[in-house]
Chains A and B, each alone.
Chain A
C-alpha cells in the first residue's frame, strides 16, 4: 500500500510540472514552442507513467523505466527541433537556450528512472543500458544536426578543441592528486593504527586542512610556492610555479587526505578481534594477517573513502581554474565573467556528469567487493 502511495504521490506531483517551458530570451512554454505533433508524445509518456504507477508491479516499473528513459533522451531533441524551426522562420543567427522547465522536467524524469531502477532492484547492466540509451539518443541527435541551433551546442562547437584540452586537464589533476593521496592516506592510516599520539595529531591537522576554504588554500599556496620557485632554479626547471598546476595539486592532495586516511583507519581497525585471532591461530604471521585478512575485509570502507575523495576532488578542481590550473572550471568562470550562461553550463554540466560517473563507478566497485566472499 505504501509503495502505491509513494508512486502515486511522486508521479502525480511530477505530472503537474509538465507544462514545461523553454526559454529563449523570453520564455516560451512547450505547448507554444512546438506543434502538437512533437509535444504529444511527451505528455502521453508522462501520463502513461502516472497511470502505470497506480498499479505498481514489476512490469509496470519496467515500462516506467523505459518511458522515462525515452523521455529524457527525447527532451533535448524537442529543444533542438524548436531551435531549428525558429531559425527557419527567419532568425538565422538565433539560438535556443534551454529553460528551467527543460531542466526540471529532465531532473524529474531522471529521478523517476532512479526510483524505478531501485524498485526493480536493477542490476548494473539494466542501469548501464538506460544511461546508454540517453547518451546515444543525444549523440545521434547531435550528429544529425538536430541540436545545432541550441546555444549549448554552439558554445561547444566554437570551443571543441579547448573543451578536449580542459577535460584532459581536469582529469589529469584529479588523477594525479588521487594517486599520491591514496598511497599516502593508506600509509598514514597504518601509522595511525600503530600509535595513539600519531593518530591524534594527524587527524587534528587533517581536519583543520579540510576546514580551510578551497579558494583560500589555493591563494595561500601561491606566495610560498612562487618564492620557492624564484629562489631555487631547479624547482622552476621541473615546472613548479606560484600559480597553475603545482598549487592546485598540493591543495587537492591536502583535501583528499582526510577522507582517505579516515576511512582507511576506520576500515583497518574495524576487523573483529575473533577473526584476527582465528587467522593467527591458523598460523599466519602478522604480514599475512594484514594482507590476507585485514585488507580484504577493509576494502569496501576504503573504497568508500576513495569515492568521497574522488567526488570531492572533481568539484574542487573546478575551483582550481581560478588559479590558472585549467579544467572545466575555466569555462564556468569565463562564462560568469562574460555573463554567458551557456558557457557556464558547458563547464558545469560535464563537471557534474564527471562527478556522478565517478560516484557510480565506486558504488559499483564497493558493491562487488562486498559481494565477494
Chain B
C-alpha cells in the first residue's frame, strides 16, 4: 500500500495524543466557549457520560477487534500461502476483495440481526471488516518475498518454520503492518458509527448532537474522534518508519 511519507514530523504522534488527552479532560470545563457556539441550547457540554469513559470504550472496541482481526488475519494469511493450504488461496482472495467492496456501515448494520444491539455487534462487524485488509496484505506480503530468497534460505538448511519466522515474516512485516494500519483507521471511523447501534463510543455525542440539533455536542465528539484517528495513524507511522 502506497502511503505519503511525512517523515519530517516524528512528533505528530506525540502532539496528537497530547491534544487528545487535553481535549478529553478540558471539554467539561469549557462551557463558556461552547455556550458562545450554541447560545440557545439548555446544555452545551455533553454530560451523559464522561469523555474519558467514551474514549476508553471507543479505543477498547477498536483494540479488541483489531487484535482479533490481526491474529486471525495473519494466521489465515500464512495458512493459505503454505503448500498444504494453497487450495484455499483463490477462495480467501475472492472473499477478501469482494468483502472490501461492502460499505462498513452496511456490515455494521447487518451484524445487528445476528447479535442484537450494543457493543457485541460492533466488535463482530469491526473484526470481520478489519480482517480483510490484514488478510489481503499478509498474502501480498508473503507472496512478495522473492523465490530466490526462499531458495537461498532453504539451501542454507533452514526448516520450513525457520524460513517462515526468520525470512518470510520479517520481509513481509512492512506490508502486513500497512494492512493493520488500514484496518485500524477504518475501524476507528466505523466504531464511531457504532453508537447508532448502541455501542458506547465517541460517536455518542455526535449522534446525540445531530438528533437534537446541538452543534456543540457534535463538535466535542467530532474533535475527539478525529484526534484519536490521527494519533493512532501517527503511531503506526512511527512503527513503520522504525522498522524500515
Contacts and interface: CB of A to CB of B under 8 A. Distances in A.
A140 interface: no
Label chain A's interface by main secondary structure.
Answer: helix
B98 A356 contact: yes
A204 B234 CA distance: 12
Nearest to A118: B90
A5 interface: yes
B165 interface: no
A309 interface: no
Contacts of B188: 213
Nearest to B230: A211
A91 interface: no
B101 A356 contact: yes
A211 B2 contact: no
Interface residues of B, number: 48
A269 to B, nearest CB: 12
Contacts of B90: 6, 115, 118
B229 A212 contact: yes
A315 interface: yes
Contacts of B88: 6, 9-10
A335 B110 CA distance: 11
B4 A204 contact: yes
- Most chain B beta-carbon contacts within 10 A, residue among A218, A223, A243, A266: A223
Nearest to A331: B109
Interface string B92-123: 00110010011111100110111001000000
Nearest to B209: A219
Interface in B137-178: none
B31 interface: no
B234 to A, nearest CB: 9
Sorted nearest first, the 6 A-B pairs with minimum C-beta distance are A315-B103, A203-B4, A213-B189, A219-B222, A216-B222, A348-B106
Interface of A: 2, 5-6, 9-10, 100, 111, 114-115, 118, 200, 203-204, 206-208, 210-220, 222-223, 226, 242-243, 262, 266, 311, 314-316, 318-319, 322-324, 329, 332-333, 335-337, 339, 341, 344-345, 347-349, 351-352, 355-356, 359
23 contacts: A6-B90, A115-B91, A200-B6, A207-B3, A207-B4, A208-B230, A211-B233, A216-B189, A217-B226, A219-B206, A220-B219, A220-B223, A222-B218, A315-B104, A322-B207, A322-B210, A332-B106, A332-B109, A341-B112, A344-B109, A345-B110, A352-B106, A355-B103
